[in-house]
Amino acid sequence: MNGAEQLAELIAASRRAVVFTGAGISTESGIPDFRSPGGIWTKMQPIAFQDYLADPGARRLSWQRRLEMEETWKTVEPNDGHRAVAELVARGVASHVITQNIDALHQISGVPAAQVIELHGNTRDARCLDCENPALIADVLAHFKAHGDPPDCAVCGGLIKTATISFGQPMPEGEMARAQAVAGACDLMLVLGSSLSVYPAAGFPLLAKRNGATLAILNRDETPQDQYADLVINAEIGPTLRAVIGGGY
Ligand code: ZN
């Protein structure tokens, strides 16, 4: 039995699976991998949260980079991997998708937003760091293009930031709690395209395994958690899941 057939059996036997996704599922849509070795953050220094708070220059650089990514975010589309995950959710096999990605491609591929847990936030939204009032990305970028600076919060005058979790920024409490609950209660944890090296996010598959779930990892490369997994497949996600799930999505 090959890996795809084994994964198909695990999915068929599962009653409450959780999918955990990382950058590898979105690189198949052409989105660059930010955090992994060789990724953008190894070539371009990430802006730490403390610097964003303290330094107007860091905020300008952050929004300049966000502006340069806008064409990518506007045109990128879900791939077969996202569509397969959406299919698993639609069939009721997977209850939730926990993702490290900030691209919202799971929601765009049809997973209801309430079933997506974004551990590192979402770059398509922006909000005030003080009062959490949302701001439209399009408005912030238009202001930035016109003035060279992001706008302040219209409500409280606080700093506006993309709704992503930067290095050094506290993890979102609500999302962490939801991820802990669903990871601890699932019977199959299906990891797709994560190097499982960025903590605390990478702790959730291990939590599931400790609580008795089957752990399956589908990733292009090896991960540090392969030794704990019941099944490891090193392959592309989209084509592999299409073989596992079948067509029709
Ligand atoms: Zn505010």
Strand positions, DSSP E, 166-244: 188-192, 214-218, 231-233
Catalytic residue, candidates 96, 106, 120, 147: 120
> Could you tell me if 56 and 95 lie in one domain?
no
Q: Compute, in angstroms, the gap from residue 159 CA to the centroid of ligand 1.
A: 7
238 and 206 co-located in one domain: yes
Helix axis angle, 173-185 relative to 203-210, nearest 10°? 30
Co-location of 249 and 138 in the same domain = no
pLDDT tens across 19-45, in order? 999 999 999 998 877 655 556 656 678
- Residue 202 pLDDT > 80, yes or no? yes
Digit-coded pLDDT (tens) for 81-132:
999 999 999 999 999 999 999 999 999 999 999 999 999 999 999 999 999 9
- With tokens 């702790």, the residue in question is 203
- Over residues 222-247, the pLDDT tens digits come to 999 999 999 999 999 999 999 999 87
CA of 172 to the centre of ligand 1 (A): 17
DSSP type of residue 15: S
Q: Please tell me the distance between residue 152's alpha carbon and the centre of ligand 1 in angstroms.
A: 8
**20 and 59 housed in the same domain:** no
Sheet (strand 214-218) strand order: 116-118, 94-99, 17-21, 188-192, 214-218, 231-233
Instruction: Please state the pTM of the whole predicted model.
Output: 0.94
Q: What is the pLDDT of residue 35?
A: 59
Our count of domains for the chain comes to 2
Residue 120 catalytic?
yes
What's the CA-to-centroid distance between 129 and ligand 1, angstroms? 7
Average pLDDT, the chain: 94
168 pLDDT more than 80: yes
Show the tokens assigned to 176. Answer: 């962490």
Show the domain range for 152. 39-75+123-164
pLDDT at 141 over 70: yes
